[in-house]
Structure 1
Amino acid sequence: MNNTNKMLHAILRTIDEGIHAVDADGITIYYNHVAAKLDGLEQEEVLGKHLLTNFPSLTIETSTLMKVCQTGEAIYNQHQTYQNSRGVLVDTVNTTLPIKENGKLIGAVEVAKDVTKVKHLSEKLLDLQAKIEKGKTNRSNTNDTTGAVFHMRDIITKNEAFQELKKKAEKVAATTSPILIYGETGTGKELLVQAIHNASPRKTKPFVAQNCAAIPSSLLESTLFGTVKGSYTGAIDRPGLFELADGGTLFLDELSSMPLDIQAKLLRVLQNGLIRRVGGTKEFPVNVRIIAALNEEPEICVEKEKLRSDLYYRLNVIYLPIPELRERRDDIPVLIDHFIQKYNYQFETLVTRVDPAVKEIFHSYHWPGNVRELEHAIESAMNLVEGDTITTEHLPQHIIDTMSSSSQASPETFPPLREAVLDTEKRLIQEALQETNGNVQRAAKLLRIPRQTLQYKMNKLNVH
């Protein structure tokens, strides 16, 4: 038993997050070195003493540890800002759990993750964007100052399906309706979004992009909606991304990473055009076009409860699914030429040819990273090539290894699973529609899927 306790303490010492445990009376029974560093205290100062003795700014009502001791209910991902004993402002995200033995509450434990640096970086970004927007009001606007650098002409494609998508994007750019974009990683979602902004009447107004997975969920709300001075310790009057994007476009990437409660607030903005800063009581209007993107199919996100269904239906006014590179292999040659030209200019080289063996590999490779992976493969090769021709010896090793292993199996015997699934789906949908004389509702019943799901798959698979 003694060895077990020693091992447990050794494990706890290696965890890089603050851990603070108290008994049912609020006396500290465990306090690790990370928590001590966050609070600016020594472990010995806190152990064996009542929680409120060392943290006089807290009360029974405001302390999450004491609250859990009182209620016996866990508190998850609570954002807390406080001043430690050295006068340093600290931002943490805390999860506080009850400790029970035989059903009886005997204490509580809190795990605190320090997000101070992340919050400072996000606040600096907001301040910088606010300064940029303020500066724009004192000079004439041009497209180059909006934050969006790509235009429709930058979308390179000869693929028929992608050309149709591009035409649709040019049409919807003229309106103010929200847009939902789906595309795997590396397909060029932000390129398309920026092109839509620059083709719209909002092109001289701000373009603001935020990856919802890039910052902790506890900071996302204040980043989007802004804060009011005094709403929590250290809070100041600060505009959020909605205010910074006023009159322009707000692009929310990886929307499914946004917590569902914040998704509900986003839906409210979409419905009435009003926002309220965190800690504020006043609502005020914003004129922002929302474009959201997912790297997983929206229907699947809804089924997994990563995306609210009501938000999905509100955003899905205009739906633009970007095809994967493996579904538009006819674009590979033109993209190769484009990236060679780009890196010839950057590296001051003169590569003019691609070996036929390389072209064959590129055409057969599955491209899980899509256009971005193709660009990186060209960039990698351009760093190694000495003459004017890219050969197989210049390609990234993982592409060579993948193609070598796949060549050992017969392509006819083992088609790519994703392509086989899509082909099967398309065939079954076509058969169901033929059986029902094109009646989508009856075909959906025949396939035992919701009508909306069938319509989504018909659009994706180009079934009419």
Structure 2
Amino acid sequence: MNYLAKLAVMAWFNMTIIRQFRDGTEMEKHPAEILSFLNQVMTVFDSIASSYIIIDASETVVAYNEVSSKLDGIAVGKVLNRKLLDVFPTLTRNSSSMLQVLRSRVPIWNRAQSYQAPSGKVMTMTSSTFPITDVGNTVLFVIEVVHDISNLRELTDHVIHLTESLKESQPPTKQCLQIVTENKQFQRLLKDVRTFAQTQLPVLIAGETGTGKELVARYLHLNGSHSNVAMVTINCGAIPPTLIESTLFGTVKGAFSGAENKKGLLELADGGTLFLDEINSMPIEVQSKLLRVVQDGAFRPLGGNNEKTVSIRYIAAMNEQPEVAIQKKELRSDLFYRLGVCMVVLPPLQQRLDDIPHLVEHFIRKHNPLLNTAITGYTPDFIRSLESRPWPGNVRMLENVVLRCMLMCSQLSEGVLSALHLGSIQEQPLSVDTVPAHQEWMPADSWEPDESLAEHLAGYEKMLLVNALTRCKSNHSEVARQLKIPRTTLQSKLRKYGIST
């Protein structure tokens, strides 16, 4: 089953089944009929390779699929019709979520836990467990659906380990960070930022996507007293909710099966700066624990009894107004008041259009060496055209547009950016909600209605290869070096597109 089909199956299941099970489902049918129905439903999970297990009121396993069998390393026949604790001796009545739900009749959703399978393998997983009850609220069955996230946790731990190694082995060098602006409003804002940088107070940066929140965060760090150590960064929206707590706080060996002594990002950032990007994406319960660290500088690793203390400069960022995030219950108000001692609100590019010429010059200097181009400047109509257009993606979107124009300019063997290279940008204001994000920079004359995406990308790749061969005078080694691909890959692509040199 392909990915889209799996999504469709899951959407159907969420709408028709889980909605009924959310608070426990009451059934009037005979248990045997219910079990038959459940087995049909569980074929959904078989089709999307999810693990599930069902027990009845006597704690006997009545359904167990092949996916579970492979995860646990035990044959289906050795599990069915046996007591749950007999099959899985590492579980106890207190640690088993299925037995907890059997007793309490209360569902448990998205619980993260470590578990040692009968085979001895230690896994990290998330599980959702819910009861099926009769009209008298007696539990007839308990279902548990499990997702193995062991590889994801190992990857997260590896990233933390690498971060720690890099921090200890490579003391950071002083960087030169340039924020390009001639806009008076933005310059006044940067004056505040420089003042904030001289303090140890937390800073909260708010602004639309692409306005430069991470750039300002690095500027704060590099101009502060902690600039001699690394700034540790965590994108709270990129880490699964089940892992973010251990990623921040670390773990203690023995906290759960398979847990090791691992430093979290809080400990790695001790003596330096911790940048919490997309802070409003962090689960509310983790925000409450983070609040105590920000206030008192003390925390306990997961499973630990001893407190650790840290001295950290906190910088947080979010892409919406804090008041809105608080109202939507994405941000704790007390955490906002603690982190927002120094508040920086970045204006959208639409409010600093006079910076566009200076930003364009900066991007040309930045990308000329990377693209191996020799763009020398721009025409007045190029800037006027940029200033007349909406910028829902702000400075990041502007950089992408300039980058594309530089490529087009180079392919036409021209050295100055002009409005001609902006022909692909729509004249009418675009709605970010209704127009695909790529449309503002896609060459309008390079897309044919009857051309597939693969065909379009192949044509663009062929054009880049021809351009690189011309620029490098058919020197295959130089072309491969500039395109950062193996020479054998280059030759294979030349044969694929029938390009002779």
Q: TM-score range by the shorter chain?
A: 0.7 to 0.9
Q: 1:206, 1:247 within 8 Å by CA — same for their partners in 2?
A: no
**1:287 and 2:311 matched:** yes
Q: CA deviation at 1:15?
A: 2.9
Q: CA deviation at 1:63?
A: 0.8
**1:111 and 2:141 matched:** no
CA distance in 2, matches of 1:84, 1:393: 64
CA distance in 1, matches of 2:273, 2:187: 23
Partner of 2:201: 177
> Deviation digits for residues 399-451 of structure 1, max 9, x if unmatched?
43xx35769xxxxxxxxxxxxxxxxxxxxxxxxxxxxxxxxxxxxxxxxxxxx
Partner of 1:132: 166
Partner of 2:340: 316
Q: 1:150, 1:191 within 8 Å by CA — same for their partners in 2?
A: no
Partner of 1:94: 127
Q: CA deviation at 1:326?
A: 1.7
- The number of residue pairs the alignment matches comes to 394
Partner of 1:431: none
What does 1:140-179 correspond to in 2, within 5 Å? Answer: 141-144=171-174, 151=177, 154-179=178-203
SS in 2 for 1:127: helix
Q: CA deviation at 1:86?
A: 4.0
**1:83 and 2:107 matched:** no
Pair 1:92–1:9, CA change in 2 (3 A): closer
**1:71 and 2:101 matched:** no
CA distance in 1, matches of 2:85, 2:92: 7
Q: CA deviation at 1:46?
A: 2.9
Identity %: 39
Q: CA deviation at 1:175?
A: 0.7
Partner of 2:24: none
Amino acid at match of 2:375: V
> Deviation digits for residues 270-297 of structure 1, max 9, x if unmatched?
1111121111111122110111111111
Which residue, 384, 387, 412 being the options, matches 2:408? 384
> Deviation digits for residues 320-346 of structure 1, max 9, x if unmatched?
011111221122221112112211111
What does 1:269-280 correspond to in 2, within 5 Å? Answer: 269-280=293-304
Amino acid at match of 1:184: E
Name stretches of at least 5 consecutive residues in structure 2 with no aligned partner.
Answer: 1-32, 432-501
CA distance in 1, matches of 2:68, 2:408: 49
Q: Under a length normalisation based on structure 1, what TM-score does the superposition of the two structures give?
A: 0.79
Q: 2:390, 2:430 within 8 Å by CA — same for their partners in 1?
A: no
Q: Which moved more, 1:37-46 or 1:110-119?
A: 37-46
Q: 2:204, 2:317 within 8 Å by CA — same for their partners in 1?
A: yes
SS in 2 for 1:215: coil
**1:11 and 2:35 matched:** no
Which residue, 255, 263, 288 being the options, matches 1:264? 288
CA distance in 1, matches of 2:259, 2:153: 11
How large is the Cα RMSD of the aligned pairs?
A: 2.6
Q: CA deviation at 1:373?
A: 1.5
CA distance in 2, matches of 1:250, 1:176: 12
Q: CA deviation at 1:118?
A: 1.6
SS in 2 for 1:332: helix
Q: CA deviation at 1:380?
A: 2.6
> Deviation digits for residues 99-127 of structure 1, max 9, x if unmatched?
22323321222222222122111111111
Partner of 1:41: 74
Amino acid at match of 1:288: I
What does 1:163-242 correspond to in 2, within 5 Å? Answer: 163-242=187-266
Pair 1:382–1:270, CA change in 2 (3 A): same
CA distance in 2, matches of 1:396, 1:44: 66
Pair 1:396–1:260, CA change in 2 (3 A): farther
Q: 2:97, 2:129 within 8 Å by CA — same for their partners in 1?
A: yes
CA distance in 2, matches of 1:336, 1:234: 52
Q: 1:206, 1:246 within 8 Å by CA — same for their partners in 2?
A: no
SS in 1 for 2:317: strand
Partner of 2:268: 244
Partner of 1:428: none
Pair 1:370–1:34, CA change in 2 (3 A): farther
Q: CA deviation at 1:42?
A: 3.8
Q: 2:202, 2:339 within 8 Å by CA — same for their partners in 1?
A: yes
Q: CA deviation at 1:187?
A: 1.3
Q: 2:269, 2:312 within 8 Å by CA — same for their partners in 1?
A: yes
SS in 2 for 1:143: coil
Q: CA deviation at 1:20?
A: 2.2
Q: CA deviation at 1:234?
A: 1.1
Pair 1:392–1:32, CA change in 2 (3 A): farther
Name stretches of at least 5 consecutive residues in structure 1 with no aligned partner.
Answer: 408-464
CA distance in 2, matches of 1:159, 1:71: 62
Pair 1:178–1:106, CA change in 2 (3 A): same
**1:61 and 2:91 matched:** no
Amino acid at match of 1:122: T
Q: Which moved more, 1:34-43 or 1:160-169?
A: 34-43
Pair 1:86–1:166, CA change in 2 (3 A): same
CA distance in 1, matches of 2:39, 2:418: 58
